[in-house]
Amino acid sequence: KAGVTQTPRYLIKTRGQQVTLSCSPISGHRSVSWYQQTPGQGLQFLFEYFSETQRNKGNFPGRFSGRQFSNSRSEMNVSTLELGDSALYLCASSLAGEGGIYSPLHFGNGTRLTVT
């Protein structure tokens, strides 16, 4: 089975621009989560989608948004980029559904976003 695929691998953007990151989960996984990883804050939960519905959201400003498509692929968008948005953005998929709290997360290799 193919793993979680994130594109692009690297991105360089300028302050004020917006960016869209893409994630293709493992086939059969309907839950997709997004995490932001920075040296200072570590791994922070952004949001989780299941069957095209956002089920859970972390403590991030409204500039961070996401969506999930019917094929479970997900995108996240960051508008009006700030320098502090520079981070590794990780997508993870899982089988989480009913009783799915014991399903581990399968991570992609991330998108490294640099904001200048």
The contact set with other proteins (CB under 8 A) reads 4, 31, 33, 35, 42-43, 45, 48, 50, 55-56, 58-59, 88, 90, 92, 96-102, 104-110, 112
- For CA atoms 34, 76, 65, 96, the dihedral sign is negative
The total number of residues shown for the chain amounts to 116
Please, what is the minimum distance in Å from the beta carbon of residue 90 to other proteins?
6
- 86 CB neighbour count, 10 Å cutoff: 16
Please, what is the minimum distance in Å from the beta carbon of residue 13 to other proteins?
19
Please, what is the minimum distance in Å from the beta carbon of residue 78 to other proteins?
19
